[in-house]
Amino acid sequence: MSENNPLQSYFRKPKLSIVLPSHGQWYPENSLQLNAEGKLDIYAMTASDDIKMRTGDPTFSGKTICEVVKSCCPGILEPDHIPNVDIDSILLAIRIASFGNIIEFTLAVPNTTLTRKVTMDGIQLLKAFNHSPTLWDDSVTIIDEDGQSLALTLLPLPMYEIFAMTKKMFQNQQQLNKVIQNDTISDEEVFRKNLSDITQNAIEITCNSIKSIKIVTNTNEVIADLVRENPQDLIQIVNVIKGMDVEYFNAIKTHLDEQRSKFVYRSHQQNSTPKEIAAGAPENWETELTFLGSDFLPENK
């Protein structure tokens, strides 16, 4: 790009800046450049970004999202390491910077196959959700019947791991669809393998969120102090989780889900129509808003 270009001062500028819900925590060192106010500058998408988003990412690698984030948030140097608590806010901000603050969402009416369209103000959404990294409770302690405690430190997953998991789950689902036809299983072995993979995925996603595990006996003796960064410890962390009582495993999973849900954008309360109620919908409901799907881009003319 030439510096002599007389149009230089009309090049893309930040349209807005946001406070990241993570406040920059959980990013690799030196991979985040915030402005003087400690906010992340957001630029509008270019036509090239728009093309990428509209043509989708058939490999589910998240490559498209990373490229668009790199283009619209130059302050994020390693977009694939964005913690999951920040993804929605960043995408919402890019959407506002590119197409304005009025966004039409297609909401699935709970307990039915119906959908409804809702228009929301993106700026109000950003303002209304006062995210804070302190919302994320990173520790969970489980005490067994013998008084032995298992203390875990949990982290939000980075974006590349979320996409890798989505891809795996999609592939497993495809394999299952292939072997299940007309309610009969054509290949028992493939069926069993994919079911087992789905279980493994759930374990893997939980393991990937664990930063450390500390096991202390009822006599305060530390029998294990495992840290994720240490490759030897990582193997042991996986073994601990795999061998864990299902009740404890579920407790960790629930804790992670609860943390994640604190950072989720929600619709306003919706009142069901008589038709929706007749189809099984509750009278009032609200639902999670997602920015990765078809609602992200306005309709193409």
Q: Which x/- pattern over 164-203 shows residues binding other proteins (rule: CB under 8 A)?
A: ----------------------------------------
Distance of alpha carbon 38 from alpha carbon 220, whole angstroms: 42
In 59-90, which positions are buried (b, 16+ CB within 10 angstroms) versus exposed (e)?
ebebebbbbbbebbbebbebbbbbbbbbbbbb
- CB under 8 A: which stretch of 43-51, 137-145, 183-191, 218-226 binds other proteins? 43-51
Q: State yes or no: residue 54 binds other proteins (CB under 8 A).
A: yes
Q: Which x/- pattern over 90-109 shows residues binding other proteins (rule: CB under 8 A)?
A: -------xxxx---------
Distance of alpha carbon 213 from alpha carbon 225, whole angstroms: 6
Q: Which is closer to other proteins, CB of 12 or CB of 242?
A: 12
CB of 98 to other proteins, least distance (A): 5
Distance of alpha carbon 109 from alpha carbon 153, whole angstroms: 36
Nearest of 59, 163, 104, 42 to residue 296 by alpha carbon: 104
Q: Which helix (H) or strand (E) holds 17?
A: strand 16-18
- Type of residue at 194: N
Tokens of 155: 């982290």
- CB under 8 A: which stretch of 30-38, 54-62, 153-161, 234-242 binds other proteins? 54-62
Footprint (CB under 8 A) of other proteins, residues 9-28: 10-12, 15
Q: State yes or no: residue 293 binds other proteins (CB under 8 A).
A: no
| Overall size of the chain counted in residues | 301
Q: State yes or no: residue 1 binds other proteins (CB under 8 A).
A: yes
Q: Which is closer to other proteins, CB of 56 or CB of 147?
A: 56
Q: Which is closer to other proteins, CB of 68 or CB of 252?
A: 68
